[in-house]
């Protein structure tokens, strides 16, 4: 019941949480940590072995490692395929207090190899920390190798494998270390479906036992994104005349409240996706609103400045900035601004809004700036 409640809560959180994410594309991850095999794992004999027993197994704290390859859809959801290994040394199979002594000391261990398909939901906090939750399903191969003495029943020897469906619940937080690189701290509840069966011998007599398998893992790892950061999305505010303008821009003046000669210039920044020069729907709206404001007054000049980041060659970035400037100029003309009022400049990668090293994809530098001045 406790597990069911945990999984339902995680599923509900994934379904209703709001979305936004900084990257889109493939990513890789590796990690390692502690694996805690839940105590009092049920162990019981099956079949014709006599006397039948129903015991509980205890294991030492062990280790776990994983690696994953995933894809981030850029809308707060990620999907990944995960390979993991877990290992715990055996302590004992407990007695029942009624004459059955169990196996008070055991040598050997219980191992699992798993392949899981995870769906993960990120929660963007706007800072360096990104919490997340997830669910996974897949398969596990369990290897049980234990042996130990019992003065009455004889030595227990198990050396067998079992394959089962598996599932897990995930919760964690990513800590940004650098652009595209995060420290990943996570918890996983991992379990094999049903009750795996292992064959062995007790005092030389063949026996089969059923053995639960559910674990709690704490991992620390690294995750690196191969995709590019998403372009910033312009935020808008409503004005007195029903129009919408970027939050950093001024609303159109109300009639009679301000002389045209005293109007401040309108400054607009249009952002582009990586290696693109076409306007996004948000950028088109931004240009249209700027043109509408400009046409409500006496436009003097419109300066359009195209820019690029440093992820490509200098000559290519110069051409890309020219295309970005041209597409904004054409959009202004299409929205009523006279062509002879517009001057286009292109700076390539030479005037970044955010200085970076060569080869870095920086969304804030993939832009065209528009300055509209009035008579």
Least confident among 40-49, 142-151, 298-307, 332-341: 40-49
> Between 273 and 101, where is the model more confident?
273
Q: Which domains does the chain have, with CATH numbers?
A: 2-229 (2.40.160.20), 236-374 (3.30.1330.60)
pLDDT of residue 115: 98
Residue 127 to residues 84, 147, 316: CA-CA distances in angstroms?
30, 51, 33
Write out the chain in H/E/C secondary structure: CHHHHHHHHHHHHHHHCCCCCCEEEEEEEEEEEEEEECCCEEEEEECCCCCCCEEEEEECCEEEEEEEEEEECCCCEEEEEEEEEEEEEEEEECCCCCCCCCECCCEEEEEEEEEEEEEEEECCCCCCEEEEEEEEEEEEEEEEEEEECCCCCCCEEEEEEEEEEEEEEEEEEEEEEECCEEEEEEEEEEEECCCCEEEEEECCEEEEEEECCEEEEEEEEEEEECCEECCCCCCEEECCCCCEEECCCCCCCCCCCCCHHHCCCEEEEEECCCCCCCCCHHHHHHHHHHHHHHHCCCEEEEEEEECCCCCCCHHHHHHHHHHHHHHHHHHHHHCCCCHHHEEEEECCCCCCCCCCCCCCCCHHHCEEEEEEEEC
Q: Which two tokens stand for residue 147?
A: 């042996």
Residue with tokens 């493939």: 26
> Between 273 and 247, where is the model more confident?
273
Rounded mean pLDDT, 27-55: 82
pLDDT at 255 over 60: no
With cut-offs at 50, 70 and 90, classify the pLDDT of residue 240.
Answer: low
Rounded mean pLDDT, 47-58: 74
Least confident among 57-71, 196-210, 259-273, 314-328: 259-273
Torsion of CA 250, 251, 254, 260, to 10 degrees: 40
pLDDT of residue 186: 97
Rounded mean pLDDT, 333-351: 91
pLDDT of residue 138: 97
With cut-offs at 50, 70 and 90, classify the pLDDT of residue 119.
Answer: very high
Q: Are 245 and 291 in contact (CB under 8 A)?
A: no
Q: How far, in Å, CA of 156 to CA of 27, rounded?
A: 45
- The verdict on pTM exceeding 0.85 is no
pLDDT of residue 216: 96
pLDDT of residue 230: 57
pLDDT at 139 over 50: yes
pLDDT of residue 75: 79
pLDDT at 70 over 60: yes
Rounded mean pLDDT, 351-372: 89
Least confident among 83-87, 96-100, 126-130, 155-159: 96-100
With cut-offs at 50, 70 and 90, classify the pLDDT of residue 243.
Answer: low
Q: How far, in Å, CA of 278 to CA of 94, rounded?
A: 69
Rounded mean pLDDT, 98-111: 81
Q: Specify the length of the chain in residues.
A: 375
Q: Are 72 and 100 in contact (CB under 8 A)?
A: no
CA angle at 63 for the pair 58 and 64, rounded to the nearest 5° = 120
pLDDT at 371 over 80: yes
């Amino acid at each position: 019941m406790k597990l069911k409640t945990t999984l339902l809560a995680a599923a509900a959180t994934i379904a209703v949480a709001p979305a936004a994410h900084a990257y889109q594309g493939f990513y890789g991850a590796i990690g390692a940590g502690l694996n805690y095999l839940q105590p009092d794992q049920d162990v019981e004999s099956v079949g014709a072995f006599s006397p039948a027993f129903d015991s509980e197994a205890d294991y030492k704290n062990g280790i776990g490692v994983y690696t994953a390859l995933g894809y981030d859809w850029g809308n707060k959801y990620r999907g990944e395929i995960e390979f993991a290994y877990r290992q715990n040394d055996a302590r004992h199979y407990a007695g029942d207090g009624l004459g059955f002594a169990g196996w008070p000391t055991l040598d050997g261990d219980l191992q699992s190899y798993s392949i899981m398909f995870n769906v993960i939901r990120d929660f963007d906090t706007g800072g360096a920390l990104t919490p997340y939750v997830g669910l996974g399903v897949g398969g596990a191969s369990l290897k049980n190798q234990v042996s130990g003495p019992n003065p009455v029943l004889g030595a227990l020897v198990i050396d067998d494998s079992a394959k089962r469906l598996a599932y897990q619940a995930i919760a964690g937080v990513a800590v940004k270390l650098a652009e595209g690189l995060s420290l990943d701290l996570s918890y996983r509840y991992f379990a094999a479906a049903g009750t795996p069966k292992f064959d062995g011998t007790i005092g030389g007599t063949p026996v089969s036992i059923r053995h639960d398998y559910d674990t709690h893992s704490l991992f620390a790892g690294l995750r690196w994104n191969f995709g590019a950061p998403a372009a910033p999305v312009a935020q808008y505010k409503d004005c007195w005349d029903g129009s919408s303008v970027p939050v950093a821009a001024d609303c159109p003046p109300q009639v009679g409240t301000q002389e045209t000669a005293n109007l401040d210039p309108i400054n607009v920044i249009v952002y582009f996706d990586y290696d693109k020069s076409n306007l996004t729907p948000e950028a088109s709206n931004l240009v249209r609103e700027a043109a509408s404001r400009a046409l409500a007054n006496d436009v003097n000049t419109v300066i359009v400045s195209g820019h690029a980041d440093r992820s490509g060659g200098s000559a290519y970035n110069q051409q890309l900035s020219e295309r970005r400037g041209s597409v904004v100029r054409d959009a202004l003309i299409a929205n009523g601004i006279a062509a002879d009022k517009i001057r286009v400049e292109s700076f390539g990668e030479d005037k970044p809004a955010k200085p970076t090293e060569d080869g870095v994809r920086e969304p804030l530098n993939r832009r065209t700036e528009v300055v509209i001045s009035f008579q």
